Amino acid sequence: MKWHVVALSALLIVACGQQQEAIYQPTFSQQGGGASKEYIVGILPLHNPKRLVEVYGPVIDYLNASIPQAHFRMEASRNYEEFEKKLYSEYFDFAMPNPYQTVRSFKHGYRVFGKMGDDELFRGIILVRKDGGIRKLSDLKGKKVCYPAISALAATMMPQYYLHTHGIDVNRDIENLYVGSQESSILSVLRGHAVAGATWYVPWKSFQQEHPRMAAQLEVKWQTETLPNNAWVVRRDISPALTKSVGKALVGLNATEEGRAKLARLGITRFERATDETYTPVRQYLKVFSETVRHIEY
């Protein structure tokens, strides 16, 4: 497969605490004759860069095959902060941010044209070790709780809001650790660096499939309500015709067996059409979160 990323070094960075894996070697294609304009696609760091390209690279290949008049190149980011810096500087032509980043991107020249389906999966979960002695929420007081990143919505803000609404002052009662990735949050609990760790169902399902013996030592102790899933956004100066073609291709992925297999690797069953208004509930949620839990820009 032809998987397109900016820097090989980014692919070899493994999230903190992740077990060593075989070195992944991407392949690069040469653009034919310079006839097609290149568009940079940024994907939220749902996984470490190596894993992210393994999972989303085939989707970018599919876009290149489906829309030959354009050339799409995926750019992986090391962490949320790096991804957001690129997004808010309008570096990406197309991007798949989380709903919080989506709402913020409206002020930086982007609009929504699609999203991940399966909104029932977009909820935060809080994991504990089965032998960790955590039985009720009050057992977390005075302990360390970890999250992937301060700007993660499903895996950080939603669990923190859940704790807040169930009697835990997240600013005083617990020590919050932001460990860099979904995998690192899971592994931090497994290895005893925190008594509880937040993530969301897609990376947790992937971890269960890839590391069943380790996952069996953990349990989902609490879960949050849901919000609209991750969005696809496009910079406003990109051709509406091209944006329509990209949206049509993404929505059409689940029409073939091969496409459904690609989606299954992402942990979802489909992409679907969406607009800025789809994320109005997210705006409302962020307002309440900022007023009651901790201040955020939105």
Neighbours of 47 (CB within 10 A): 22
Q: Tell me phi and psi for residue 6, to 5 degrees.
A: -80, -50
Same-domain check for residues 183 and 166? yes
Same-domain check for residues 115 and 13? yes
**pLDDT tens per residue across span 67-102:** 999 999 999 998 999 999 999 999 999 999 999 999
Same-domain check for residues 277 and 146? no
Same-domain check for residues 109 and 242? yes
Q: What is the pLDDT at residue 250? A: 98
Tell me how far CA of residue 36 lies from CA of 31, 72, 73, in angstroms: 8, 9, 12
**pLDDT tens per residue across span 155-167:** 999 999 999 999 9
Last residue of a domain, one of 210, 226, 242: 226
Same-domain check for residues 204 and 85? no
**pLDDT tens per residue across span 193-222:** 999 999 999 999 999 999 999 999 999 999
**101 token code pair:** 């980043």
Q: What range does the domain containing 61 cover?
A: 8-119+228-290
Residue range 99-110: mean pLDDT, rounded: 98
Last residue of a domain, one of 178, 203, 226: 226
* Residue 120 pLDDT greater than 70, yes or no: yes
Same-domain check for residues 286 and 206? no
Q: What is the pTM of this model?
A: 0.86
CATH number at residue 19: 3.40.190.10
SS3 labels along 18-50: CCCCCCCCCCCCCCCCCCCEEEEEEECCCCCHH
Same-domain check for residues 63 and 193? no
Same-domain check for residues 110 and 174? no
Q: Cα–Cα distance between 275 and 247 in angstroms, integer?
A: 11
Last residue of a domain, one of 199, 226, 253: 226
Amino acid making up residue 73: R
